Amino acid sequence: MGNLVKYVGIGLLVLGLAACDNNDSKTATTPAAQSSAAGQPVSLLDGKISFALPADMTDQSGKLGTQANNMHVYSDATGQKAVIVIVGDNTPDDLAALTKRLEEQQRARDPQLQVVTNKSIEIKGHTLQQLDSIISAKGQTAYSSVILGKVDNQLLTMQITLPADNQQLAQTAAENIINTITIK
């Protein structure tokens, strides 16, 4: 459990850095551009888990000062859009309890945390837990979608972080990534 907290903390650090980025340049993105951007395939755990990322996201694993081979980081050039996947040790705790703990940790860091979704989802017979929230830092907001699941006797954590200037667009972009997840 300590490793999960550490890795989620790293994910929240990336989120905080992205939220603190004072990059005022705005790029016009249409929903059509967002949906056509998805499609860059990613495969982990010897092909047991796969998903697709938007075309503007690239593998940044190992560039954040960590050499952990069980953490994979993908982001856009600005660092405002990120997907962090952590494969950790299994835990006897159930997914609902882990998600509740994660929500409490996020709320301790951000008292204004808004939980959008906390639900169980099923992908190819595997039950996962999804926690979507809006996190605020220094006047900026980010949409965070965290997927927790147990795959091949390991705990899988996937955090998708997107700018929440337009919450509906961020939620749709996160769902587009989540909908591409396959587990064998």
The pTM score is 0.76
Structure confidence at residue 117 (pLDDT)? 92
Quote the pLDDT of residue 69: 61
pLDDT tens string, the chain, 184 residues long: the values are 444 444 444 544 444 434 434 343 333 333 433 444 447 899 988 888 999 999 999 988 876 555 456 889 999 998 889 999 999 888 999 999 999 999 999 999 888 899 999 999 998 888 999 999 999 877 789 999 999 999 888 999 999 999 998 999 999 999 999 999 999 8
Please check whether residue 143 is in contact with residue 174, taking contact to mean a CB–CB distance below 8 angstroms.
yes
What are the structural domains, with CATH classification, of the chain?
Answer: 2-20+41-183 (3.40.1000.10)
* Predicted local confidence at residue 14, as pLDDT: 43
Q: Which residue has the tokens 């301790």?
A: 108
For the record, the structure tokens of 68 come out as 């952990």
Q: Which two tokens stand for residue 55?
A: 């075309």
Say how far apart CA 40 and CA 56 lie, in whole Å. Answer: 9
Query: Would you state the pLDDT for residue 62?
Result: 72
pLDDT of residue 28: 37
List strands edge to edge, sheet with 154-163.
Answer: 58-59, 71-75, 82-89, 154-163, 140-151, 126-137, 114-123
Given this model, what pLDDT does residue 152 score?
84
What is residue 125's predicted lDDT score, i.e. its pLDDT?
86
* pLDDT on residue 161: 95
Residue 175, pLDDT score: 95
